[in-house]
Amino acid sequence: MVNTQQIRPDADVPAGNGVTFEDVLAELADRRTEFREQRYVSKDFIARLKQLGLYRAATPTRFGGEPLAPADFLARIERISVVDGSTGWVASFGSALVYLAALPVATQAELYRDGPDLAFAGGLFPVQPAAPTETGFRVDGRWKFASGCMGADVLGVGIPGDESTGGKPRTALLRPEQVEIVQDWDVVGMRGTGSFDLVVRDVEVPREWTFIRGGRPTVDEPLYRYPTIAYAAQVLAVVGAGVARAALDYAEEVGAGYAGVTGAPKLADRAYYRAEIAGAEAALHSARAWFYELSHEVWDAVVAGDEATDEQNARLRLASAHLAKTSSDVVGRLLEISGTAPIHSAHPLQLLHGDALVPKQHAFLGPAMYDAAGAVLMGMPPTTPGFR
């Protein structure tokens, strides 16, 4: 049994209508197979996540939001991911509303007119051409990896930038009824994220309903001074940490009682198994500690009115990549020492291994981040576009 209380012991508080975090996690444990099989998190469960405040955790206070300090939001996502990585991944995009803070204030007021709980999903790549019009852009094309799109209230697609964006791409916002969702998500990990393709056919989007990803916010609140792209990397990395925690909990519980069909000693009686479990615990806890330590440090700086430095941003990016890799490595090693049982496609460690692989493979968290962070820490420009 996974022990999500290890992640955040104080999180079992009412989330609205008497619902607690534990209530929602228990429901998730019952429904995660459903989400995996249908390949997306159902919209009614997105509504449950909204009750936990996850989809107002990055909404500006002036529009009724209840912004969370990044570390607090990350801990919640990690805890969900212990139960189901796909749902943690989808819930993590509650943080993506920090991007929308770059919209004109009047647009944001309209966006949050019906309330602060807004589920946003985007298929930003590949960036597709969009012909300028007198009032905006004519959008037409197909975009990939729109995680959580089946439960989204608003969708975004990537279009080119121009001189006014400093070369950075824009995101154009659309209503769900303006977008066709093509359900072609067939993967070995994070099967339930619903990271489907978005298709838009000849829709004019007003300029004020577009924003520069990572652009300067029009709302001055502390959360929007925290490094935006680094935060986007953190929320994905912490999903991997939750998956690794679930794998360790499983390996420790099963190892204490499992004996192979050959009559060999149970796993916990084998020195190599005990040593690997201990090493995995040390590795995961160490990577998590640095990850959260940096998040608290940078948050304290921006709350004090300081701008996050290039070095702080680089360390956030590095710690995120390191956590994602460590988490994946932990699950991989547990798979290796668990005998023949995990060769079955539905074995829990096999499923967790696929889920743990996904964050590490993400462009925000891949090997290039080590090179870019190392360059910045030695006073050089980052070697990867969009590092900050």
Domains present along the chain, CATH in parentheses:
4-100 (1.10.540.10), 119-212 (2.40.110.10), 226-377 (1.20.140.10)
d(CA 301, CA 223): 11
Q: pLDDT digit string (tens) for 145-191?
A: 999 999 999 999 999 988 888 778 999 999 999 999 999 999 999 99
Query: Do 362 and 236 meet the contact criterion of CB atoms below 8 Å apart?
Result: yes
pLDDT of residue 265: 80
- H or E element in which residue 25 lies: helix 21-38
- H or E element in which residue 331 lies: helix 310-336
**Chain centroid offset of residue 333 CA:** 23
Q: pLDDT digit string (tens) for 4-32?
A: 434 443 444 445 567 899 999 999 999 99
pLDDT of residue 166: 78
Residue holding tokens 């990549």? 321
- Partners of residue 284 on adjacent β-strands: none
Q: pLDDT digit string (tens) for 260-303?
A: 556 668 898 999 999 999 999 999 999 999 999 999 999 999 99
What's the Cα-to-Cα distance from 338 to each of 136, 174, 248, 353, rounded to whole Å?
A: 57, 47, 12, 13
